[in-house]
Structure 1
Amino acid sequence: MRLARTARWLRRLGAAAGTLLAASVLVFAATTLAPGDAAAARLGGRAGPQQIAQLRHSLGLDQPAWVRYGHWLWHALHGDLGTSYASGRPVSALIAERAGNSLLLGATAAALLVPLAIGLGLWAGMRAGRAADRLVSTATLALVSMPEFVIGTLLVLLFAVGLGWLPSVSVPSAGHSVLTQPQILVLPVLTLLSVSLAQNVRLVRAGVIAANASDAARTARLGGVPEHRVVLRWVLPAAVVPAVPVLARYLAYLLGGTLVAETLFGYPGLAAALVDATAARDVPVVQGVTLLVAAVTVTLNLLADLLAAALNPAARSLS
């Protein structure tokens, strides 16, 4: 049994590694096939053909694509993502400066998602059919129906333009870090939470309604067990455990998919670095940031798969 479980985990690890390898191929191909020339963009419009050719040779851009991909992948596996064409700094150092801000944004949203999803889902599910449940159901349905950039725009119009409570952009003042100005995190975090929270609240609510009507809960109530103990002992575990794998996938999204919110609010994270590098044809930075996001997403989804298999016996038997 233990060997079979180990074999399943190894298969999952192999699938994750294969996915990441495929992502690296797509990233490299996309940056290679993109229109324009990195050497010409770096030198500017006044450079002559000879200067461009010399720079292409020094950067290795005149080598076959498969050779460049092999060199890039080999160095990336050893932690060397190359050197920025625009600044001349190591790409890993540039990413390290921005990754902390992106991680702070995603981790803040993730830390709020779990208690809010479980709390609101439990509150609505225990009041199924009442006004409170209808209010939560309507609000979550509205949030699910709108994309993040629309919700973010509406939040700016309400809290920044209309009420003036929060800044419309999430750019820290010169010489200050994000941690010293927490108010700039509020709108990006709310934008990230919008769809993720709505989906998980609806999932937990449905589980609570089913568990509340189960034979175990009814028997406990008939036996005189206090209502709060029925909820904590029978209803909440039965509702939350099936939702945990889905919740874990949303946590993976929040930690690896903050690019939309960062771009919308100008937050100084990896998204800003990616947008600037794309405009400047800074290929090493584009490749490094994209590969890092892909690696984080694949890793967190792997952990979500393992969690789902650990909590669901049927999933374990089918793996």
Structure 2
Amino acid sequence: MTRKTLRHASGRLALAAGLLGALSLVVYAGVDLLPGDPATARLGPSSTPDQVNQARERLGLDEPLAQRYWEWVTGLLCGDLGSSANGTPVADLLSGRLGNTALLTGITVALLVPASLALGVSLGRRAGGRFDGAGSAALLLTVAVPEFVIASGLALVVAGRLGWLPAASLVPAGEHPLSHPEVLVLPVLSLLLVSLAYASRMIRAQTIHALRAPHIEFMRLNGMPERAILRQAVLPAVLPSAVQIWLITAAGLMGGTVLVEIVFNYPGIGGILVSSVRSGDLPVVQALAMFMGALTLLATVAADLIAAATGRTRST
């Protein structure tokens, strides 16, 4: 790794640290400005002003916003996510659910990588043909459909009408979703369809660009087989961009699973995020918002570093 590359990476990491600080401020202030009062939401409309004031004091809501933010962000730096409104540590509340959501994301990405690469490259190699036209139209249509609509359609047809799989991803208390793999199929398929459409379109575009390079034409004029050209020239040109796409997609899936989890009643972060917003449980909402925002930011920075490293490698 050259000195110039190290300077670039150091600059990006410093920028990422600054953006994480700005993100924490935006997340904390934005969640704090959500409509409704957490204390009133917790106690109900029949609560008296004295009860509300006591609850606000217990939750620390009577302190100035700047002081609350400072206490929260210093806790984050020490690994303390705070406590929910019912006194349960937020880290304990989220650990299992984050693991379940990460499982959905991991399975989806594991299927996405080979499928999107194969489909994207196949469409790119046949650009302008019937297969490419039909495939690109189908991908564009899929990208335009929200994930929860696809999830609802799969639940209605595959689970409701055909009865092949359960419509609800219910997991008995104390058991892991992998113990009941059938509950993972429809949520993973819902996430995979949308992410596959997006990633395949991007990889198709990169494949078309790679095939137009002068050295590809030179290889063909020298009689090199198409498979060898694909393996030696096209895939090495496409893979760096594909890795960027997969990184950003994986980070987006961690937040994008929320609606899909709600549709299938999957025990991930979706249900607890919605219930926390409704009940005004700010520490939980702030922790989840910060986690999803930071994950997306770090994935973007990692993708940028990959682009810079591969770009410099090709130019040397």
- Is the CA contact (8 Å cut-off) linking 1:204 and 1:243 kept in structure 2? yes
1:57-77 CA-partner distances (Å, limit 9, x unpaired): 233221111111111111121
What is the distance in 2 between the residues matched to 1:33 and 1:224? 66
What is the distance in 2 between the residues matched to 1:37 and 1:314? 54
- Is the CA contact (8 Å cut-off) linking 1:118 and 1:201 kept in structure 2? yes
Deviation at 1:94, TM superposition (A): 0.7
What is the distance in 2 between the residues matched to 1:8 and 1:107? 30
1:77-102 CA-partner distances (Å, limit 9, x unpaired): 1111111113x211111111211001
Q: How does 1:87-126 map to 2 (within 5 A)?
A: 88-126=87-125
- Is the CA contact (8 Å cut-off) linking 2:105 and 2:254 kept in structure 1? yes
What is the distance in 1 between the residues matched to 2:29 and 2:315? 36
In the alignment, is residue 177 of structure 1 matched against residue 158 of structure 2? Answer: no
What is the distance in 2 between the residues matched to 1:9 and 1:236? 25
Deviation at 1:2, TM superposition (A): 4.3
Q: Which residue of 1 aligns with 2:277?
A: 278
Q: TM-score, normalised by structure 1?
A: 0.88
What is the distance in 2 between the residues matched to 1:6 and 1:133? 41
In the alignment, is residue 192 of structure 1 matched against residue 186 of structure 2? Answer: no
What is the distance in 1 between the residues matched to 2:205 and 2:34? 46
What is the distance in 2 between the residues matched to 1:283 and 1:82? 10
* TM-aligned CA distance change 1:12 to 1:238, over 3 Å: closer
- Coordinate RMSD, CA, aligned: 2.6
1:144-180 CA-partner distances (Å, limit 9, x unpaired): 2222222222222321223221222222234532111
Deviation at 1:315, TM superposition (A): 11
What is the distance in 2 between the residues matched to 1:17 and 1:80? 19
Instruction: Output the amino acid matched with 1:106.
Output: T
Q: Secondary structure at the match of 1:258?
A: helix
With 68-77 and 308-317 compared, the bigger mean Cα shift is at 308-317
* TM-aligned CA distance change 1:13 to 1:217, over 3 Å: closer
- Is the CA contact (8 Å cut-off) linking 2:5 and 2:309 kept in structure 1? no
Q: How does 1:1-319 map to 2 (within 5 A)?
A: 2-86=2-86, 88-212=87-211, 214-313=213-312
1:204-231 CA-partner distances (Å, limit 9, x unpaired): 2233344445443344344343332222
* TM-aligned CA distance change 1:295 to 1:210, over 3 Å: closer
* TM-aligned CA distance change 1:138 to 1:263, over 3 Å: same
* TM-aligned CA distance change 1:210 to 1:68, over 3 Å: closer
- Is the CA contact (8 Å cut-off) linking 1:39 and 1:52 kept in structure 2? yes
Aligned residues: 316
What is the distance in 2 between the residues matched to 1:207 and 1:302? 20
What is the distance in 2 between the residues matched to 1:217 and 1:34? 55
What is the distance in 2 between the residues matched to 1:301 and 1:213? 28
Q: TM-score, normalised by structure 2?
A: 0.89
* TM-aligned CA distance change 1:241 to 1:28, over 3 Å: closer
- Is the CA contact (8 Å cut-off) linking 2:159 and 2:167 kept in structure 1? yes
What is the distance in 1 between the residues matched to 2:213 and 2:45? 72
What is the distance in 2 between the residues matched to 1:286 and 1:316? 45
- Is the CA contact (8 Å cut-off) linking 2:105 and 2:253 kept in structure 1? yes
Deviation at 1:275, TM superposition (A): 1.0
What is the distance in 1 between the residues matched to 2:136 and 2:283? 46
Instruction: Output the amino acid matched with 1:18.
Output: G
- Is the CA contact (8 Å cut-off) linking 1:101 and 1:178 kept in structure 2? yes
What is the distance in 2 between the residues matched to 1:302 and 1:209? 26
Instruction: Output the amino acid matched with 2:32.
Output: T
1:110-132 CA-partner distances (Å, limit 9, x unpaired): 11111111111222233344443
Instruction: Output the amino acid matched with 1:96.
Output: S
What is the distance in 2 between the residues matched to 1:5 and 1:226? 36
What is the distance in 2 between the residues matched to 1:296 and 1:131? 39
What is the distance in 2 between the residues matched to 1:63 and 1:228? 67
- Is the CA contact (8 Å cut-off) linking 2:117 and 2:242 kept in structure 1? no
What is the distance in 2 between the residues matched to 1:77 and 1:218? 54
What is the distance in 2 between the residues matched to 1:50 and 1:213? 73
Instruction: Output the amino acid matched with 1:149.
Output: F
What is the distance in 2 between the residues matched to 1:224 and 1:37? 72
Deviation at 1:256, TM superposition (A): 4.5
